Amino acid sequence: MALNFADLEIVYEELARTLDRLSPSEREVFLCKLSLLMARDLGDLSRVQAMIQTAQNHLETL
């Protein structure tokens, strides 16, 4: 079941604060570790692969 918005917002805020505590080089590794942890817990390869695609959309700056 998807996380409700209030919980999602808690995640948003915790991530923002965590990113601020990390150095730029640590940030990338942290986000990848987090993705692997979440992927393992999600337990669904095709969904994880779809998310890897979705997350690449609209990355270019205007």
Partner 1 sequence: MRPAGKGAHDSLYFTYPAFTAPDRAHVLAREGCKVAIVGAGPVGMFAALTLARFGIASVLFDKKDTFNDGSRAICVQRSSYQALERAGAVKPFIEKAYGWTMGRTFYRGEQILEFEMPHSDSEKYLPMYNIQQQFIEQYLWDAVAASPLIETRWCSEVTGADDTESGARLSVQDTNGRYQIEAEWVLAADGARSAIRSMRGLRLKGDNFPGRYVIADVQMDHAYQTIRRALFDSKSNPDKTILIHRQPDNIWRIDYQMPDGQSEEEAISEDNIRDNVGRILRDIDYQGAWELEWWSIYSANTLALDDYRDGRVIFIGDSAHIVPIFGVRGLNNGLADAENAGWKLARVLKGLSDERLMDSYSPERRGATLDVFENATKSARFMTPPTKGWTVMRDAALSLALDHEWAGAFANPRQMEPFTYTDGGAVLSHTETAGSVKPGAVLPNERLSDDAYLSDLLGNGFTLIVLEEKDPAGLDALKASLLGLDPELECITSGHIRARFGAAGLSRLHERLGTQPGATLLIRPDGYLAGAWPTCVADVIVAQATAAFGRKETH
Q: Which spans of this chain sit near partner 1 (rule: CB under 8 A)?
A: 2, 5, 8-9, 12, 15-21, 27, 54-55, 57-59, 62
- What is the rounded CA–CA span in Å between residue 50 and residue 45? 9
Residue (21 or 40) nearer to partner 1, CB: 21
Return d(Cα 41, Cα 3) in angstroms, integer. Answer: 14
- CB–CB of 49/56 below 8 Å? no
Minimum CB separation from partner 1 for residue 9, in Å? 7
- CB of 12: closest distance to partner 1 in angstroms? 5
